Amino acid sequence: MLLDEPQKERADAARNRLKVLAAAARLFREKGVDGVSMDAVAAAAGVGKGTLFRRFGDKSGLAVALLDERERELQEAILTGPAPLGPGAGGAERLAAFVEAYVDYLLGHLDLVRMSETASPGARYRIGSYRFWHRHVTIMLVEARPGCDAGPLAHAVLAALSAEHVTALVAEYGEARARQAIRTLALG
Amino acid sequence: MLLDEPQKERADAARNRLKVLAAAARLFREKGVDGVSMDAVAAAAGVGKGTLFRRFGDKSGLAVALLDERERELQEAILTGPAPLGPGAGGAERLAAFVEAYVDYLLGHLDLVRMSETASPGARYRIGSYRFWHRHVTIMLVEARPGCDAGPLAHAVLAALSAEHVTALVAEYGEARARQAIRTLALG
DNA sequence: GGCCTAAGGGGACTATAGTCCGTTTATGTG
DNA sequence: CACATAAACGGACTATAGTCCCCTTAGGCC
């Protein structure tokens, strides 16, 4: 028994998972996130639709899997990286650093994040990483603004960081001004 | 030529429009907004699918049409009603009154608003009423917080009022605390 | 009233997400 | 190595949003 595989995954399953991720990444790059159907992903990966859905649940699950590595980097940086994003700085400063880093991440993968958040109603709030961001922002807010109702306020901050909202801001004001506006928000 | 019908609508078209709205309102009330297909609406109204889509564009268009009357009431109250919602009060006070009134409207029709905002990607920002709310909030912010970047900030306030976000807040904290949190937000 | 035309009507058709279930296969066990 | 079994596979099937285009009809005009 290998210690780094707590949940055993059958060899063919692992192979197919990699084939699907590679095919999906390539298709999305070539044709854009919209304009690629799940059938097309399955065909390009050389697997059946059943396999695709069994493994990733739905279209947003596929997007989440493709974003996974980038998300983990950001989460690592928050948990154990250098200040001000990581531990060591004050709540307000860490919060500002998080928003900055999250916007970088978001603008680099806007379409994919959008797909992960909007594929099904309420999908955004069920993704594991959303709960991570929410928890982090809540803790930073408690430190930065003692006495505020941090839980709901953290949701509001994240609402301004939703792919849907940021997409609209970028379309209306351009990337630079949109970024500045979001930055201002988190500090206010 | 009737003066209150600037765009002439044929008699059969008007009849069918009313039949569809009545059938949709009934079905949504009986079975919930999810769980009613456009086919079902067309069948219940006794019209073809083509007619349904020709008239309302898509599912979010149907939701918008059903919400139209309530929205217009709120818009009237803002434009010509008594203060503090209508003209006469200061920007901060009017903004708070708007948020309060909007949350009332939203919680009363959460599923329908949600459908109008999420039926297609970016739908929310294309609806006429969104632009009305945005314009109003922007003007109130300019008055309440001179020098702020009011346009993007107004979008952020409205992001916290999206059906998706409010649905999540209500699910997590209950209606009373969610309402209080949103109220606090707009003032902060 | 009869005609003409543009708007309206309707249902077959397409595209796509997601489900179901009979078949295949990887892998542990004797 | 043969076998058992649980997991994985895959493609036919369903549900539903939205499109297309041919047919019907309202209503202006003589």
Band of residue B6 on the pLDDT scale cut at 50, 70, 90: low
Within 13 Å, how many C-alpha atoms sit on residue B45's CB side?
Answer: 29
Chain B positions with Cβ closer than 8 Å to A = 34, 114, 118, 121-122, 124-125, 148-149, 151-153, 155-156, 159-160, 162, 164-165, 167-169, 172-173, 177-178, 180-182, 184-185, 188
CA closest to D6 C1', residue: A10
**Cβ pair B134, B155 in contact under 8 A:** yes
Q: How far apart are CA A23 and CA A62, in angstroms?
A: 11
Chain B residue with minimal CA distance to A170?
Answer: B152
Q: How far apart are CA A152 and CA A154, in angstroms?
A: 5
Residue B188: predicted pLDDT: 66
- Put simply, the answer to whether A155 touches B165 (Cβ < 8 Å) is yes
Q: pLDDT tens digits for B148-184?
A: 899 999 999 999 999 999 999 999 999 999 998 888 8
**Cβ pair B155, B122 in contact under 8 A:** no
Residue B181: predicted pLDDT: 86
Through-space separation of residue A19 CA and nucleotide C15 C1' in angstroms = 25
Through-space separation of residue A13 CA and nucleotide D1 C1' in angstroms = 25
Q: How far apart are CA A48 and CA A55, in angstroms?
A: 11
Residue B186: predicted pLDDT: 73
**Residue B131 Cβ under 7 A from any strand C atom:** no
Residue A180: predicted pLDDT: 87
Q: How far apart are CA B29 and CA B61, in angstroms?
A: 18
Residue A167 tokens, joined: 């997409």
Question: What's the gap in Å between the CA of B184 and the closest CA on chain A?
Answer: 9
CB less than 7 Å from strand D: which protein residues? A 9-10, 12-13, 15-16, 46-51, 53-55; B 8, 10-12, 37-39, 49-50, 53-54, 58-59, 119-120
Within 13 Å, how many C-alpha atoms sit on residue A159's CB side?
Answer: 26
Amino acid code (one letter) for B161: L
Q: How far apart are CA B85 and CA B99, in angstroms?
A: 9
Q: Which residues of B touch A155 (CB under 8 A)?
A: 165, 168-169, 172, 181
- Put simply, the answer to whether B178 touches A124 (Cβ < 8 Å) is no
Q: Which residues of A touch B149 (CB under 8 A)?
A: 177, 180-181, 184
Residue A181: predicted pLDDT: 86
Burial of B76 from C-beta contacts in 10 A (0-12 / 13-18 / 19+) = exposed
**Residue B47 Cβ under 7 A from any strand C atom:** yes
- Which residues of chain A are modeled with pLDDT < 70? 1-7, 187-188
Residue A77 tokens, joined: 């940086």
| pLDDT above 60 for B3 | no
Phi-psi region of A174 (alpha: psi -120 to 50; beta: other; left: phi over 0): left
Residue A188: predicted pLDDT: 66
Mean pLDDT of chain B: 91
Which nucleotide lies nearest residue B13, CA to C1'? C8
Burial of A166 from C-beta contacts in 10 A (0-12 / 13-18 / 19+) = buried
